[in-house]
């Protein structure tokens, strides 16, 4: 905890962000004896700060700085300043994530090769294969404590919410029904306790049973003496020398004073809105369009997953709020099968919301009120819900840009987050809604209703990986094509979104990147 590096120490790596990417990377590097300073925009929280209270935690940990939701989707009207639901705090969105730890499927790394060009989509293969990433998936699963083979922990028992959905799913012919894999301990593992089935996974795990860098990687990195984490440190620009190599990060500290941290290399891990925003804001005479942006792809290809929710009222109480929030997964539709009328697949993930959030999110549009609305809420304990996590195609026009004149409290241009749906996304969503409806009807639902998607927690793709520099921002190691000591270490490097939750893949990529950085340092290249 006590390690302090000087601002003019140019031997440190500067890592921006402390979540799944940045936190994992800092820890992995520290264990190799590589020094880093982690700049985290948010505060540091203790386990005691975590409450089982939806609105209190929303107010406490969410990233609520000004953002503009743009694009032809309902979210632009219902949440005009909250395009994404992510965390500002040490640990980042690993405080908020629900623990679903699925690997991408092999074909998802080469979607373009599989399906060819699709009009309106900016498809590209990853420059890395599943086979190359697989050892790091195993490492990530052990590291995080993912239930299943890698950790040896059994999967969770099915909770009531999943029992309902799974029974319906079986009756419509689905077979791939599992209560996991999840990075939520089913028995003590890695000095953390087992899950108490408290619910409130997305408000932060009060027990520390769910993996989060907040109480694993970050304190462990600090304990090595090789890592200093600076909370309340908002990165504003990355600076470079006359040769175009990055050499410092300017940030605002807790008092709002500007500081400059010298850097041997910089790793950007601020999630898919903040990371491109920082690169774009770091424009210079040498890089007039922003850092690492010779391709023009910084901030583009923003993907959120094609999602929707379906809820159903059952004849008897389900008590969906008891137990883990995302308690079970149906993977039958995750395959690539163009006969369904769309490319890419989706997973169906059983989910719950507490009454306070459900009342707000059931229909956040202006019409979300009235006798029927209240009648559904009176049946809250009879509800079961499912969330569709579907492949969202990259589109060049979806992305992050900087507002011309509006600035936030740090003086940074406010990000505009533009997202529209590809017709493929819409077809996939409709299919998922229909299948979810069929599942619930098969298990005797009294009524089934669609719930619009919320501000997104899965934000990927805005600094994408590519084999060729002209197609993307970073190479297969997350290293910028244009600047050899600048890295992207979060979900923004995803080339495609897959049908799976992104966190496990972010962690696997960060572990792999740590090996790569260490190797290049040992060769004297960094």
Residues lying near other proteins in the complex (CB under 8 A) are found at: 51-55, 157-160, 163-164, 167, 195-200, 206-207, 314-319, 321-323, 354-356, 359-360, 366-371, 373-374, 377-378, 380-382, 443-444
| Closer residue to other proteins in complex, CB, 296/369 | 369
| Closer residue to other proteins in complex, CB, 168/270 | 168
- Read off the DSSP letter of residue 340: G
| Closer residue to other proteins in complex, CB, 198/521 | 198
| Closer residue to other proteins in complex, CB, 342/358 | 358
To other proteins, the closest distance from the beta carbon of 128 in angstroms equals 39
Torsion of CA 114, 117, 121, 123, to 10 degrees: 50
The rounded radius of gyration (Å) of the Cα atoms in the chain is: 22
Euclidean distance between CA atoms 475 and 486, whole angstroms: 11
Q: Comparing C-alpha atoms, which of 346, 333, 52 is closest to residue 196?
A: 52
Helical H runs in 296-413?
A: 355-361, 371-378
Torsion of CA 165, 171, 176, 181, to 10 degrees: 20
C-alpha separations of 311 from 62, 165, 307, 437, 495 in Å:
25, 10, 13, 8, 31
- Read off the DSSP letter of residue 77: H
| Closer residue to other proteins in complex, CB, 103/321 | 321
Euclidean distance between CA atoms 391 and 376, whole angstroms: 30
To other proteins, the closest distance from the beta carbon of 270 in angstroms equals 29
Helix (H) or strand (E) holding 37: strand 36-39
| Closer residue to other proteins in complex, CB, 322/520 | 322
To other proteins, the closest distance from the beta carbon of 94 in angstroms equals 19
To other proteins, the closest distance from the beta carbon of 171 in angstroms equals 9
Euclidean distance between CA atoms 97 and 70, whole angstroms: 24
What is the DSSP code string of 514-526?
HHHHHHHHHTT--
To other proteins, the closest distance from the beta carbon of 150 in angstroms equals 24
| Closer residue to other proteins in complex, CB, 297/352 | 352
To other proteins, the closest distance from the beta carbon of 271 in angstroms equals 26
Neighbouring CB atoms inside 10 A of 6's CB total 11
For residues 390 and 425, is the Cβ–Cβ distance under 8 A? yes
φ, ψ (nearest 5 deg) of residue 255: -90, 0
C-alpha separations of 494 from 103, 131, 346, 501 in Å:
13, 16, 17, 12
To other proteins, the closest distance from the beta carbon of 387 in angstroms equals 19
To other proteins, the closest distance from the beta carbon of 492 in angstroms equals 32
Identify the bridge partners of residue 239 per DSSP, sorted by sequence position: 248
| Closer residue to other proteins in complex, CB, 443/483 | 443
Euclidean distance between CA atoms 194 and 179, whole angstroms: 15
To other proteins, the closest distance from the beta carbon of 304 in angstroms equals 24
Region of residue 478 (left: phi > 0; alpha: psi -120 to 50; beta: else) = left
Neighbouring CB atoms inside 10 A of 260's CB total 15
To other proteins, the closest distance from the beta carbon of 189 in angstroms equals 16
Euclidean distance between CA atoms 391 and 14, whole angstroms: 32
| Closer residue to other proteins in complex, CB, 4/371 | 371
Return the beta strands (E) in 253-395 as ranges.
258-262, 265-268, 306-313, 328-330, 346-351, 383-390
To other proteins, the closest distance from the beta carbon of 99 in angstroms equals 14
| Closer residue to other proteins in complex, CB, 223/377 | 377
To other proteins, the closest distance from the beta carbon of 75 in angstroms equals 16
Strand 177-178 with 68-70, pairing: unpaired
| Closer residue to other proteins in complex, CB, 98/221 | 98
Sheet with 346-351, strands from edge to edge, namely 177-178, 328-330, 346-351, 383-390, 306-313, 447-451
| Closer residue to other proteins in complex, CB, 127/180 | 180
């Amino acid at each position: 905890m006590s390690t302090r590096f000087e601002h003019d120490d140019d031997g440190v790596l500067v890592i921006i962000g402390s979540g799944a990417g940045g936190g994992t990377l800092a820890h992995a590097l520290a264990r190799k004896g590589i020094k880093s300073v982690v700049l985290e925009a948010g505060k540091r929280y203790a386990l005691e700060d975590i409450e089982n209270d939806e609105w209190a935690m929303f107010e406490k940990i969410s990233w609520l700085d000004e953002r503009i939701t743009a694009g032809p989707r309902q979210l632009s009207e219902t949440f005009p300043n909250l395009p994404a639901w992510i965390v500002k705090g040490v640990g980042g969105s690993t405080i908020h994530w629900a623990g679903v730890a699925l690997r991408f499927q092999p074909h998802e790394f080469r979607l373009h090769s599989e399906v060819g060009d699709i009009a309106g989509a900016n498809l590209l293969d990853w420059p890395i294969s599943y086979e190359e990433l697989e050892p790091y998936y195993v490492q990530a699963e052990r590291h995080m404590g993912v239930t299943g083979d890698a950790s040896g922990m059994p999967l969770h028992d099915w909770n009531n919410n999943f029992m309902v959905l799974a029974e319906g799913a079986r009756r419509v012919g689905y077979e791939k029904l599992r209560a996991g894999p999840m990075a939520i301990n089913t028995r003590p593992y890695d000095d953390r306790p087992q899950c108490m089935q408290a619910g409130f996974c997305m408000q932060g795990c009060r027990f520390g049973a769910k993996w989060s860098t907040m109480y694993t990687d970050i304190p462990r990195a600090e304990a090595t003496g090789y890592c200093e984490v600076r909370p309340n440190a908002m990165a504003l620009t990355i600076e470079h020398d006359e040769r175009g190599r990055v050499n410092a990060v300017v940030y605002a500290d807790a008092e709002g004073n500007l500081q400059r941290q010298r850097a041997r290399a910089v790793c950007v891990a601020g999630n898919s809105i903040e990371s491109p925003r920082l690169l774009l804001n770091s424009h210079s005479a040498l890089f007039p369009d922003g850092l690492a942006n010779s391709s023009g792809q910084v901030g583009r290809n923003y993907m959120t997953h094609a999602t929707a929710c379906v809820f159903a009222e059952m004849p008897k109480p389900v008590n969906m709020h008891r137990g883990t929030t995302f308690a079970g997964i149906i993977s039958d539709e995750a395959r690539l099968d163009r006969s369904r009328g769309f490319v890419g697949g989706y997973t169906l993930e059983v989910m719950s919301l507490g009454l306070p959030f459900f009342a707000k999110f059931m229909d956040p549009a202006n019409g979300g009120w009235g006798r029927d609305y209240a009648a559904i809420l009176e049946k809250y304990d009879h509800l079961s819900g499912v969330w569709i996590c579907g492949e969202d195609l990259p589109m060049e026009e979806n992305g992050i840009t900087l507002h011309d004149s509006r600035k936030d409290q740090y003086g940074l241009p406010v990000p505009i987050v533009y997202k529209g749906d590809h017709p493929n996304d819409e077809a996939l969503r409709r299919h998922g809604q229909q299948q979810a409806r069929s599942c619930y009807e098969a298990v005797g639902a009294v009524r089934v209703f669609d719930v619009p998607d919320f501000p997104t927690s899965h934000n990927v793709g805005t600094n994408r990986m590519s084999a060729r520099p002209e197609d993307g921002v970073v190479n297969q190691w997350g290293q910028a094509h244009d600047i050899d000591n600048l890295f992207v270490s979060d979900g923004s490097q995803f080339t495609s979104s897959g049908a799976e939750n992104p966190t496990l893949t972010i962690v696997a990529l960060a572990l792999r990147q740590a090996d790569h950085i260490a190797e290049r340092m040992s060769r004297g290249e960094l």
